[in-house]
Structures are given as C-alpha cells and as structure tokens.
Chain A
Amino acid sequence: MSDKLLNVKNLRIEATVYPPGETPKDIVIVHGVSFTLEKGKVLGLIGESGAGKSTIGLASMAYGRGGCRITGGTAHFNGEDILASSKSRVRGLRGSKICYVAQSAAAAFNPAHRLGDQIVEATVLHGVSSRAEAMERADHLFDILGLPNPKEFGQRYPHQVSGGQLQRAMTAMALCSQPDLIVFDEPTTALDVTTQIDVLAAIKHAIEETGTAALYITHDLAVVAQVSDDIMVLRHGKTIEYGPVAQIIETPQEEYTRELVSVRSNIKSEAEDQSKPLLTIENIDAAYGNSLQVLFDVSFHLPKGQTLAVVGESGSGKSTTARVITGLLPQRSGRVTFDGRDLAPKLADRPREDLRDLQMIYQMADVAMNPRHTVRDIIGRPLSFYFGLRGREKEKRVIELLDQIEMGESFIDRYPAELSGGQKQRVCIARSLAADPKLIICDEPTSALDPLVAEDILKLLMSLQKETQVSYLFITHDIATVRAIADSIAVMYQGRLVRFGPKSQVLSPPFDDYTDLLLKSVPEMELGWLEKALSDRKMEAAGN
C-alpha cells in the first residue's frame, strides 16, 4: 500500500438521464472498476465512447461531471480515501497534488485572463510556491514543452495562440505545482496528426523530466502505447483487460482487446487498370467569398468502380474539394468532368440526373439524417424523388436496401435516435444507394465511429462496390483507412495537391516533404514508435 500513489477499488458511478417524455431514471456508468498506480508511472485508460474512461479519470479527482455521482468504492490517494474526504480537503489536493489536462484546452482556459496568470494561479493559491517561483517554473516548463519564446508566451491570452500550443500550455498548468498525479483526458484527440506527435512527445518528455504519475485517457491504443506503463481496456463501464503495456499490445488475452490491437487489415487490393476515369477535376481554384482562396490548381481523376482516397489534415482543402464537386461551392476556375460530360459549377444549374449520379455520405451520421424522419422516410425519399416509386413498390425497395446494408425490415419505422452509431451510418449509405449513383463521396464516414464499428462500415462499403460497381471519393485524415481501401490516393496540404497516383506509388518512396511528415506522424501500434519517429526526424533535420 505504501508505494501506491493511487489505489481505486470497486469504483461505481451513476448518473440520472432524462429521456424525452419519460420519467428520469438512474443508470450505472461505471461498474466496480479497480486499479492502482505507483509513483511516477503512467496508466492508460482506453475504450470507445461511453466506456466511462473520462468519468473514471475525473472520479480520481473526486469530481463528477454533469450529474454523475460516485456511489460506491474507494479511491486512496497517498493512503487517504479522497472519495470520503471533506470538500475543503479535496479542494486542497486539486490543483496542487492532482492536476487535470482537458481535451479541449481552447474551452478550458478562461478567455478573460492571460495564460501565465492562469497557469500559476493554483500553484500560488495552494501555497506551493511564491508567484515569482511559480512564474520561473512556468517558463522552464514552457521550455521543456517546446513552446516558442517562453518568456513572452505567458503574456498572451488564450485566443491568441494555436490549438497545439494551448494544449501544451494546459500541460504546463498541470505540471506547475509539481503534482504527484496528472489526469490527461484525451489531450491530443482534437489535434491534427502532425501536431499530435509533437504534443505527445512534449507530454512524454515532461512526465519523464518531472517524475509525476499520470492517468492517460484516450480512445487511441496506438497513442496510449507510446506513453503508458500499464493499460486498462474499458468497455461499457467495465474492465475488459488490465496489465502492462507490452502484454496488452503483444499478447492480448481478451477478444475485444485483440480486435483493437489488430492492425487494420488490407480490405482491398489496388485495381490494376486505372485508365478509364469517371470523374476528372482539372485546375480547380476555389474561394470562400471574394478574398479567402482555399483551393489552388487542384487536379485529379477517379476511375470507374474504384476508390480514390483524398488525404489531408484540417484546413488542407479536402472537404472543400468535395463541395466543389457536388456544386455547393462553385469553383472560380477549372473544370469538373463526370462520366464524359461537364458538370455545371452551380448546384442549381445541374440536371436531376447529375444529382442522382452523385451521392454523399457524411462524417456525422447523427446530423446527416433528419431526426424527425423515420428510416422509411429517409431511404424512401430518393426513391420517390428520383424514380417516382410509391406505396408497396417503394416499401419493397426500401426493405431490399435495408437487407443490402445488413439491417433488417424491423428497422423501417425507427427514428435515427433509436439507432446505434454504426446503424445510422448504414442507413445513410442505404439512402445514397437508393439513388442508384455512379459515385459516392464519403466525407470521413468512419472517423466518428469506434474502431471496430468503423471496420465493419469499411467492409460494407467495399462489398457494395463489388456488387454495384459504384465509385468512392473517400475523404479522410486516417492513413490506416487509406491503406485499407484505396486504389489511388490524392494527398492535399494547405489547399494544394501535393501528391497523386495509384496507392502503391503514393505510399512508397521517394516522398515529398509533407507526405513524409504525414506518414511518419501516424502513431503505430508498436512500443517505442514515438522515440523512433522522433529520432528519425532529428536525423533528417541534422542531415539537412
């Protein structure tokens, strides 16, 4: 017990939910979870959304967010059960001995105060050190965390610095009081992959330098494998598997863990013949309003019955390209050719046949379907709109489509809110199939889904392609997905196309600088990957 920093036993957390039109009821979010953490060690909590990982993290600070109540168990911190401690005692621990790093630092910093003041606030207030000492330590931490111009950084306001910098500032705030434990709640999830690697390295470096212990919460096993000593896999508020990182990654015991660990299998081999294009875009320039140009001279083509993956980070212009193709954002110059004919730049000028041929699937299936329409309405509307189907005929076809997406007739009268995330995305796929299109634009259709569900959706998309010869323009930021499904790849960066060609060609050297950086930044399910990636980078920098 003595060298255990944190000892959580049988933690049970409940919350009250308010389903519309029903009486409120209590649900259990965490069912008796136990773990221990030694001084200076890092425990990774991993699981899909709803697994209860954030709730557990906050409970180890004796905090329940938004109506969550800790209803059972103990959490001994340095031998003292903080769940049973007085409010003022807990307040004394928070911000001095236990600190927190939130997912969205942009929202978690107070817009009214300078970063420096917020970072040292708790340290000074809890009497850990004087303000001058705390400021000095903050400057030192900025340095460790790789923040530019540390002396000046603390003078800025939160909205004046970038997301990656804010996340590091939040880490500095947590480290400032030299705590024994830090709870990291998805600290890199909101960041781009090339930024994530830097922040991840900074966090790891800072943990090692300061010798603090940490709970690291994330949904990304490859990320957590880089920073943790132990890993706990959670699902539906229960522990699935708990052990040293090497054991979880290399010899997982449970089926669920094995599925998480298994690297995404290559679902599709690259098509040989990529000569017959269905969609060609040439020299596209596009801008929002009159001034803000977002696409610069983008050209690529997509062969019939194949998949083109468009890869890039946020702001790369990949979604804008889709908007140009669909006609939502008419291009300034350049040409879009589809199935041998020119597509009118404006949506309003396109004949119904063009609209039918070109369908779309969205990232957030939640908001891609009208919550007040049933599955029957959602899938049925394109059938009556494009083909004039009604009554029995329409219903028959809706059921056929439901079968095609491996959902049954029983779902026909449900509302979107009554479907799971994966089912929602399937219904969206059925809606686009209902139009009998030649091309479906998939805008990050799997990135909001849990990994195993995402895998199933990808498999479904590929089998539908085989069946119907539909082409996909697949927009994503996830290289693993690209590897799994693409025939050809277009890499975009800051509104420009940096690389385009068949998959095998794009993913093999020699690389351009950006593609190289992108590929090297994607975390791999491998111990020590982070160190290797970083040393590769250093060597390159030295080589240049």
Chain B
Amino acid sequence: MQMIKAMPWSARIGLLGVFIFLFSAVFADVLAPYGEREIVGDVWEPSSAKYLMGTDNLGRDLLSRMMYGAQTTIFISAAASVLSFSLGIFLSFLAAVMRGWTDQVLSRLNDLMMAIPTLIFALVVLAALPQELWILVLVMALIDSTRVFRLGRAVAVDIVVMDYVEAARLRGEGRMWIIFREILPNALSPLLAEFGLRFAFAVLFLSSLSFLGLGIQPPEADWGGMVKDNKDGIIFGVPAALIPGGAIAALAISVNLIVDWLLNRTSSLKGGRGDV
C-alpha cells in the first residue's frame, strides 16, 4: 500500500491495466459468456447486449475469445520471458564471474545471435521446425535471452568489480554464492524493470508471429491470431481486428508505464548522490 501511494498516476494506471488483464485471463473459464470455439451468431455481428464486442469472422463471441486469448497470450509470453530471463541471467552472471574464455565464448556467441534480427531469426527457425507450442516458447525464449544476456552481463560486470565481491572471493566463497548472494540481490531492480520490458516485448512478438501465421495455431484463441482472422473485415469497415490489436497495445502500455516508473526510481537512486 505504501508503495502504491508513492507511485505516480501513470504507474497506477499501468498497475490497474495489468491487473484487469490478469484477472480476465485467470478467470476466463468462469467469466466468459460463451465457449472459446463455440459458434453463436452470424459473421461479424456488431456489438450488442448479447455479444458485447460483437462476433468474429466465424460467428464466435469476440468477448469470450478475447478472454481465452488473454489466457494464451499472457501465459505463453510469461513462460517465454521467465525462461529467457533465467537462462540469460544465469549465463550472463556466469560470464561476468568467470571472465576469461568462458566470458569470451558466451559473449561472442551472443554477439553472433544478436546480429540476426529477432523476427527474421524466428521466422527462419520456425519455418524449419515442427509447429508445436513448446518449440514456439523455446524459440522465443532463446532469442530473447540474448538481450537479457547483454544487459545482465553489463550489470554484473559493474557489480563484480565491487570490493564486496572481491571480499567474498578472498574469503573463499564459491561461484554460486557469489552469483546468487552477492550479485543477484544488487542487480534486482534494473533486472525487474528489464523483465517488464521483455514481457511486453514477448507479448508483441508472439502476437506478430501469430499474425504472420507462425505462432499459436487456430482454432485456439490468441490475440495476434485473432487480428489475422478478422483482418479482412477491415475492408468492409468491420473493426473486429482492432479489438485484439488494441488489447495487445493496452497490455504493453500498462507494463511499460510500470517499467518506466521502476527505471526512474532506480536512476534517481543512482543520481541522488552529489557533493552537496
């Protein structure tokens, strides 16, 4: 509560947005008025009391599909972010602590991976691999972990040169102690902000892939796929495709508002000391 009070209004809006999306995703099964794949009306019916957001290109209730779509989109994005984070952080901290050839090999490999644009990388790999959910999550996580690695290493390298890490080394502490007890607690706030950013990015990225037909496969609902399903309606003036598109934007904006506040907070911590 204390923390929410200290938040600027923008961060509070972000928090509210994230909460609404999470709530509707978690309770989709209870809240959704119709089933995920249930055809309930005509194609592209406008919004009415019966169908709050109208119906989609096959006559399914858009609101229900939005809620189930929230489930898929948020769950897959979160899974990919958690995975990419764990991998990226661990490897980057290891590189920073070990230095020498471990660092060289990991960093150069990372440079190589980062030299390929993410979307192109994903498209090429997904073209060759079978279309399965776990592969999608893995590919997203792997690509994203390169960005986490870069930040994690930069943060960790700054911490590793601190005298308290040297003191732990001189004491004879093992690598895992140094990574998890000395570095991690001090890297947490920049990394927390980065996690938010990566999650927002994962939502956008997953949606883009689905939109291009390479992410989540129909008939399962997910926001990017729903844009693809309903895009042809635009020519007839049917805005159904804009609803999932808007939801993606709203979720990403909400997360970014919180991240922005987190980043400002950490930077004012750093900049707060001057010779006064």
Contacts and interface: CB of A to CB of B under 8 A. Distances in A.
Nearest to A352: B172
B112 interface: no
A3 B56 CA distance: 87
Contacts of B166: 328, 360
Given A326-B170, A364-B163, A49 B275 contact: yes
A328 B162 CA distance: 14
Q: Which 5 A-B pairs have the closest CB atoms?
A: A372-B185, A368-B163, A66-B274, A355-B172, A362-B163
Interface stretch (B29-37, B138-146, B224-232, B265-273): B265-273
B274 A360 contact: no
A65 B172 contact: no
Given A21-B3, A372-B185, A372-B186, A65 B274 contact: yes
Given A367-B162, A368-B164, A431-B167, 10 more contacts: A17-B272, A18-B268, A54-B275, A55-B276, A65-B274, A68-B276, A356-B172, A360-B170, A364-B163, A367-B164
Given A328-B170, A347-B169, A371-B186, A66 B276 contact: yes
A510 interface: no
Contact of B276 (A29, A347, A370): A29
B167 A21 contact: no
A23 B6 contact: yes
Contact of A385 (B171, B265, B271): B171
A376 B182 CA distance: 15
A23 B269 CA distance: 13
Most buried by B among A347, A368, A435: A368
Nearest to B272: A18
B163 A328 contact: no
A21 B171 contact: no
Contacts of B268: 18
Contacts of A18: 268-269, 272
Given A54-B275, A352-B172, A381-B171, A367 B6 contact: no
Interface of A: 15, 17-18, 20-23, 29, 49-50, 52, 54-55, 65-68, 326-328, 347, 350, 352, 355-356, 358-360, 362, 364, 367-373, 381-382, 385, 431, 435
Interface string B175-215: 00000011001100000000000000000000000000000
A371 B186 CA distance: 7
Contacts of B173: 385
B48 interface: no
A143 B181 CA distance: 56
Contact of B185 (A55, A65, A370): A370
A435 B170 CA distance: 12
Contacts of A29: 276
9 contacts: A49-B275, A54-B275, A54-B276, A328-B170, A362-B163, A362-B167, A368-B163, A370-B181, A371-B186
Interface in B243-276: 265, 268-269, 271-272, 274-276
Interface string B77-119: 0000000000000000000000000000000000000000000
Contacts of A359: 170
Contacts of B276: 15, 29, 50, 52, 54-55, 65-66, 68
Given A68-B276, A328-B169, A347-B170, A369 B6 contact: no
B98 to A, nearest CB: 12
B186 A20 contact: no
Nearest to A428: B167
Contacts of A358: 170
B108 to A, nearest CB: 19
